[in-house]
Structure 1
Amino acid sequence: MPSTINAVTDTSPQLESSRTGLANNYEMFLSLLTSQMKNQDPLDPLDSTQFVNQLVSFSGVEQQIAQNQNLESLLIIQSAAAQTSSVGYIGRVATALTPDSRLQGGAANWQYELPENAQTTNLTIRDSSDRVVFRTTGDKTTGQHDFSWNGQTSSGATAPDGVYSLEINAVAQNGAAITAEIRASARVTGIDLSGSEVVVEMGGVNVPLSSVLALQE
């Protein structure tokens, strides 16, 4: 956690570059302004309106950079909070948006939701090597549906335990493709905090924290 807290005070290279560039431009502007004021014709002084407008513009840009820096710090704090709370997911059953589910003990389970009635709904299960192992038809009606696979392949063999992916090809009455939302549920066995986004480990299925829809004891 100390590294996470320290990260809040850091600024991104883009922000730091913007601040440095603005400071350099501001100093150059003041130097030019001072030089022109010293060398102007007292009988025909330079119009100061343009310089005032540029000063206002510099001030506005500086404020925007400061706001971006504050926003970035808030996002880092929010990410740190999400990392801390996600540890509490371990041991609970999570439902996530994912086409992957683990076949174990003769069952792999999914839920899928159709936004409208379909003329045809075909379900395809693929293994970790993207090979098709089973095909069947699914429900055609609008709403959420449960689908359970017992591990039997289309050839009649029994698939080994492991992670399998569900693919849904649904076609509407007018022939247009329907996008189905696929979910899977499993007990959370771990949390990976090493990347830029928290990854929830669900018994061999890894999903980003943003894909988790619900938790149950």
Structure 2
Amino acid sequence: MAVDATLPTTVISAPATSSSSSGSSSSTTKTTGIADNFQTFLTLLTTQLQNQNPLDPLDTNQFTQQLVQFAGVEQQLKTNDQLSALIGLQKTAQSTQALNFVGSTAVVDGSSTNLANGKAVWALGVSKPSTVTVTISNAAGQAVYTGNFSMNAGDHQAFAWDGRGNDGAQWPDGTYTLTATAKDASGQTTAISTEIQGVVDSADLSQDPPVLSIGGQQFTIDKVKKVVGRTSS
């Protein structure tokens, strides 16, 4: 059974004999409104200066306050433009990253993954050497395999299942869920993490953030905890 060589792997087999666009539109409308008000303010201030009474000129303090307001509006417009540019760059970077993930093996939090062509892979982690008990159930909740094995301390340790039940029967491709418990050398229960390890099949860039398809399931790009490597074609 082929399992990614870059991770320590435990292979277990039973015996054969047994809403983004609306937010963007709203932001654009607000920015346009500020820009319109800015132009109106500038026009009014200029007109006021042109038509002031030479014998009774505009009060200096009032004029200074208006200039301060003028500068504040101008700065706000520039800040909004800069923020919009930064958001655009961030979205472009996320899209590029998502595309680069396609074809790679990624690790995300989860316990359910797809059995495909007689192979399903999870990633487990324990903080100390432990004896681990795993139970694999099908989509109907029926336990199809239970087994025990030893694990060294460490995260993202690959666990592969070949789809055979305890009776040796081959289960069909589909979604399977793994539950795991761990006990240390003294028999005390210890924490164990369960993650999904699978190939990124596609990336949906129309979502914000982009959504990746991993092991037949959908995950946003921010859920990826580790990228193991690109699968060979």
Match of 1:55 in 2: 70
Structure ranking higher on relative contact order (CA contacts 8 Å, 6+ apart) = 2
* Alpha-carbon shift at residue 26 of structure 1 (Å): 1.7
> What secondary structure does 1:102 align onto?
strand
Match of 1:45 in 2: 59
Letter in 2 for 1:143: G
In structure 1, how many angstroms separate the alpha carbons of the residues matched to 2:64 and 2:191? Answer: 60
In structure 2, how many angstroms separate the alpha carbons of the residues matched to 1:35 and 1:67? Answer: 30
Match of 1:151 in 2: 163
Match of 1:24 in 2: 36
Task: Provide closer, same or farther for how the CA distance between residues 178 and 50 of structure 1 changes in structure 2, counting only shifts above 3 A.
Answer: farther
Letter in 2 for 1:126: S
Task: Provide closer, same or farther for how the CA distance between residues 194 and 19 of structure 1 changes in structure 2, counting only shifts above 3 A.
Answer: closer
TM-score (norm. length: structure 1): 0.64
In structure 2, how many angstroms separate the alpha carbons of the residues matched to 1:136 and 1:171? Answer: 14
In structure 2, how many angstroms separate the alpha carbons of the residues matched to 1:84 and 1:140? Answer: 34
Match of 2:134 in 1: 123
Match of 1:199 in 2: 212
Range moving further from structure 2, 164-173 or 58-67: 164-173
Match of 2:3 in 1: none
Say if 2:181 and 2:189, in contact at 8 Å, map to a contact too: no
Deviation string 1:80-139 (CA, Å, 9 cap, x unpaired) is 53465456x2xxx6243253443345543322122x238875534332345554444564
> What secondary structure does 1:180 align onto?
strand
1:167 aligns with 2:179: yes
Say if 1:99 and 1:184, in contact at 8 Å, map to a contact too: no
RMSD of aligned alpha carbons:
4.1
1:103 aligns with 2:115: yes
Letter in 2 for 1:18: K
Count of residues in correspondence between the two structures:
198
Match of 1:7 in 2: none
Match of 1:75 in 2: 90
Task: Provide closer, same or farther for how the CA distance between residues 105 and 71 of structure 1 changes in structure 2, counting only shifts above 3 A.
Answer: closer
In structure 1, how many angstroms separate the alpha carbons of the residues matched to 2:189 and 2:86? Answer: 42
Letter in 2 for 1:165: T
* Alpha-carbon shift at residue 60 of structure 1 (Å): 1.6
In structure 1, how many angstroms separate the alpha carbons of the residues matched to 2:189 and 2:73? Answer: 53
Match of 1:6 in 2: none
Q: Give 1:94's match in structure 2, choosing from 105, 127, 144.
A: 105
Letter in 2 for 1:77: T
TM-score (norm. length: structure 2): 0.61
Task: Specify every segment of 5 or more residues in structure 1 that has no aligned partner in the other structure, as ranges.
Answer: 1-10
Deviation string 1:45-93 (CA, Å, 9 cap, x unpaired) is 2512322221221122111111122113323433453465456x2xxx6
